Chains A and B, each alone.
Chain A
Amino acid sequence: MTQTVGVKTLGATLSALVARMEERVPYAAVLVTDQSGEAVRMATTEEQVSEPAPSRGAVFTVHTGHSLIEAATDDLTEQALTEAAERAVNAAIDAGIDRAAPPVNPGPPAEAAFDTRQHIPWESVPLAERVQRARELREAACSVDSRVVNAFGMISHTRTRELFVNRSRTLFQDLARTQSVVGVTTREGDHQAQLWDGRGRRGGWEAAEMPEGTVDTLVADCLKITGAPRLEAGYYDCVFSPEFSGIFAHEAFGHGTEGDMFLKKRSRGEQFLGKEVAAPGVDMYDDPSRDGEAASYYFDHEGQTATRTQVISNGVLVRPLTDLHTAHALKIPRTANGRRESFSKKAYTRMSNTFFGPGNAEFADMVADVAYGFYLERPSNGMEDPKSWGIQLEGYMASEIRDGKLTGRVFSPVIVTGYVPELLQSISMVGRQVEITGLGMCGKGYKEWVKVTDGGPHLRLKARLA
C-alpha cells in the first residue's frame, strides 16, 4: 500500500551529493531506508489487517573529525535531499571541523545490490489466504481446550530496502522478513495466563510455516502455568532451553561487548578482553551474515559488510562489536553492528543474531545427574548492567527436576538474577543443537528498538532463581 520510491535508483543523486558535501567536510555518507509491511492478526475478539507504520527517509552523516552531525528527512525529493545534506554540512561547520584529526576510513570500494530470496513471494499469495492462515492458527488454539478464553494468530511480513552511499561504497539491500505467531490467554477461576510462540525468518510466505505441534504445546504449557505457584527462591542446578540460552547470550555478553559502551566506560568487558569470562568450551557469536535468520543483513547502516564476530572463544572474551564512531574513536576494527531504529534515529553498536555455539552434550545427560533443579523455558524478557555485570532474565516456565527426571511440576513465573561471569563460569554442559529464536526485538537501554534474534543450545549451569 505504501508507495515505495525507487530507493535503489537514488544512488547517482546521492553519490553526487556526498561528493559535494566532502568539498567542505572530511567525511560524509547517506543512508536511505524504506520499510513497509503487512500484519494480519486474527484474535478471538478482534480481527485486523493493517500496515505497520512505514518508515521512509534519508539521513545524512558528517564526521567533523571528532563527532557526528546528522540531518534526517522523510522527504525523498531531490530538493529536500539537497537541503538536508546542506543542513548537515552547515551544522558540522558550525560545530567545528578538525581536518588534522585521523580520517574516517570509508571502507574498500564496493558497488553491490543484495536481495532476499523469497521462495514463495509474499505478494504472490492472495490476502484471503494469508487471512485464512492466521484464522486457522487462532482456531487451532481455541479448539484445544475450553479454558482458552482468547487466542490470536498473526502473520506479518516486513520489507526493508536500504541504500548506503559514501565516497567509496554504494550498497543496496532488499530485506524481506516473515513472522508467524500464535498466542493464547487461559483462565481458570481467578487465575489467568498468557503465552505466545512462533517463528520469524528472512524470506517470503514459506517462512510463515509454523513448526508442527507448536500450537498444541503452547496451549498445554499455558494451562500448566495457569495458577502455577512460584518456586522457592534459592540457588539451583538449571538447564536452560535454547530460547533461554539465547536471551542469556544476548543480555550477558551481547550488550556487554557493544563497543560504544567501551567508549563511554560503561562496560566492564573492556578490562576483560583476552581474559577468561566463561567456562572452557563456551563460545559466543554475533553473526548478521547467518543465512535465513530474521535479523540478518548484508551490510550495516554505516556501510560495513556483514561478517560473523566471535565474541567469546573457549571461555575467553575475544573482541567487542563496534559501530563507525566507536571503532574510529577507540582505534579498533569495525564490525557490522552500526544499526539504527530508523533513519530518524542515531546509529549505535547493536547486536544482530547472537548465540552460544554448540557443544557435545545431550539434553538427557544434562538432566540425568540433577538431584534437584529446574528446566527453564519460555523466556519473556531480560536486562543487563554491563558495568557491574548484573543480569535479570525472566521467563514463564520452570519445570522441576528431581533425581534426574522432570517431575511434571511447573512453577511460574521465574526470574534469574546474578553476576554474569559467575553464571557463565558455572556452565558445565553445552548441548549439540543450536536453535535461533526469530521473534526478538532489542532496545538500547530502554529505547531504540531493532530486530534481533538470539539462541544457542541447551546449557547446564547454576543460577539464583526466584
Chain B
Amino acid sequence: MSGNMDLESIARVLKAAPGVSGWALHARQVESHQLYRVFRNEQARRVAHTHSVRVTVHTRKQEGGKESQGEAAFTLTGPRPELTPAQVAVAVERAKLVANAPWALPGPASLPQVPLEDPRVAAEPDAVIAELVTEMDAAAGDAPLCASELFADRVQTTVCTSEGFEGSYGATELFSEFVLLADNGTDSVEVQGIRRARRARELDLGAVVGRHASWAGDRLIATLPTGGTLPVVFGEESLDTLFDTFLAHAGGRSRYEGWSRLSEGKPLIEALSGDPITLTVDPLAPWMLGSQPMDSDGQIAHKVTVVDQGRFVERTASKRFADYLGIRATGASGNTVVAPGSTPLADLLAHGPVLHALRFSTFHPSSVTGAFSGELRTAYLHLPDGSVRPVVGGSVSGDVWHAFARATLSAEETVRGGYRGPAGIRLEGVTVAGAT
C-alpha cells in the first residue's frame, strides 16, 4: 500500500481543538488493479491508488434544559492527509447548527479476528487476475465472452475515536463482471454475470461462468411466461435482496423513525402457514463479503439472531440507534444468514406449474413497504408433466409480508457474496405478468 496516513497527527489536532466533544476518524487506503476486455482482447488495464480519512466532529449544547448533539463530517484525501485547526473550527461551527439527540461514540474494545484479507490477492493482484482470466476463458469455452472486467482490490480500514477506540483491518476483494453471448443464426442474446468475493476460491469463477453459459443457451429458446398467479421459487441473484425488507424493519433506524412493523417477541409474519424463518445477521463469518469486524463508527460487530423460528428476537443497531433506543449496539451491517429448511429443492419445483426465478433485470423489494417487482432475465417454468421451459421477460410481483406467510425453504444451502442460506425459497401466490 502506498502512502503514509498519519492518523495520530490528525487526532492530536482534534484533541486540542476547542468546542469538540467527540470525534471519529474512518480511514481507507485502496489499491485497485483493474483489467477490462472486449471479447478476449485487452481493452484497458489500470491501477488506482486512493486514500481518504472521514473526520466526524461532535459538539454538545444545552438548550431549554435539554442537551443536544451537533455533528459535522468531512473527508481528507490524498496519501498524506493533514488536518489544520482552521478546518476543525469550520466543522465545529457546522456542527453547532445541528441538533440531534446525544449518543456516545464507541470506546476501547478489542477487534474480533475475522479472516478477510487473502495474502495472495494482496501481494500478487495482477497474477491473480491473470489466473482468473484463464479460468473464465476455459469455462466459457466456445461461447463468445464479449466483455469482461476483473478487479483485485486491497483495502486497509482504520477507525479511531475520541473515546479511545482504535481498530484496523485489511481486506481483499475480487470483482468480476462478464457478458456471454449466444447466437442461433436468427437471434442473439446475452447473459451478464457479476460476482464478488474475498478470495478466488469463493469467487468460483469457472463454475459461475459455466452456469451463465448454460443460461445464455437456454435464453435463445426462452419465451414469455404465461400470466397468472403461481408459486415462485427464488434462487441465485434474487436471494441477495429477498430479505432486505425484514432486515430494514428489524433495524434500529426504522424503529427510531417510527415505521418498523416489528416488535420483539412477536411473530415476523402473522398467520404463518409455511416454514418459519431463522434469520441471522453475521458480520463475523470468515471470508464472506458482508463481514467486517467493526463499522465506520468503530462499533465492534456482533452476530445477531434477528428472527428465530419465525419470531422477531433482536434488532440490529449502530451505536447511534442503540443509544437512542436503549438496546445493544451490534454494528451497522453484516451478512444475511438464513437457516435452511427441510424440503429438497427438487420437491419445491415439483407439481408444477412452478416458476424458478434465478435472475432479474433488477430485484429490490422495498425496504419500507415490502413490495417487490422484477423483470425476469433467467427463469424456468416447471410444468405439471415434469417438463421444464426457459422463460424470459414479463415480471413477478408481490409483497414479502404476504408472500412469506406461505414460504418453503430448501434444504440445500448456497453461499453468494453476503448471503448464506437456502438455495431456493418457494413463495406461493406470486403475480406473474406475461403473455395474456
Contacts and interface: CB of A to CB of B under 8 A. Distances in A.
B407 interface: no
Given A44-B257, A75-B79, A266-B190, A194 B38 contact: no
A227 to B, nearest CB: 9
A54 B192 CA distance: 31
Interface string B266-290: 0000000000000000000000000
Interface stretch (A21-29, A114-122, A301-309, A412-420): A412-420
Residue of B32, B45, B179, B194 with most chain A CB atoms under a 10 A cut-off: B45
B309 to A, nearest CB: 22
Given A192-B368, A235-B436, A392-B375, A383 B49 contact: no
A1 B99 contact: no
A49 B362 contact: no
A264 B39 contact: yes
A30 B151 CA distance: 22
A82 interface: no
Interface string A225-249: 0000010011100000000000000
B190 A445 contact: no
B32 A344 contact: yes
Contacts of B98: 47-49, 131
Given A56-B78, A235-B436, A91 B45 contact: yes
Residue of A67, A193, A413, A417 with most chain B CB atoms under a 10 A cut-off: A417
Contact of A185 (B91, B368, B377): B368
Contacts of B219: 388
Contact of B44 (A44, A346, A388): A346
Contacts of B73: 48, 50-51
Nearest to A265: B146
Nearest to B181: A265
A195 to B, nearest CB: 10
A364 interface: no
Contacts of A418: 393
Contact of A128 (B97, B320, B364): B97
Nearest to A80: B79
Contact of A230 (B78, B95, B397): B397
15 contacts: A45-B258, A47-B99, A53-B75, A127-B97, A128-B97, A131-B97, A194-B369, A233-B397, A264-B38, A383-B361, A392-B374, A394-B373, A413-B369, A417-B395, A445-B194
Given A192-B369, A233-B395, 8 more contacts: A2-B76, A43-B257, A91-B47, A233-B432, A265-B188, A387-B190, A390-B377, A412-B371
In the complex, the 9 A-B pairs of residues with the closest C-beta atoms, listed nearest first: A392-B375, A466-B433, A383-B361, A233-B433, A415-B373, A344-B48, A149-B258, A72-B48, A387-B190
Interface of B: 3, 32, 34, 36, 38-39, 41-52, 54, 71-80, 87, 90-91, 93-95, 97-100, 144, 146-147, 177, 179, 181, 188-190, 192, 194, 219, 227, 256-259, 261, 320, 360-362, 364, 366, 368-369, 371, 373-375, 377, 392-395, 397, 401, 431-433, 436
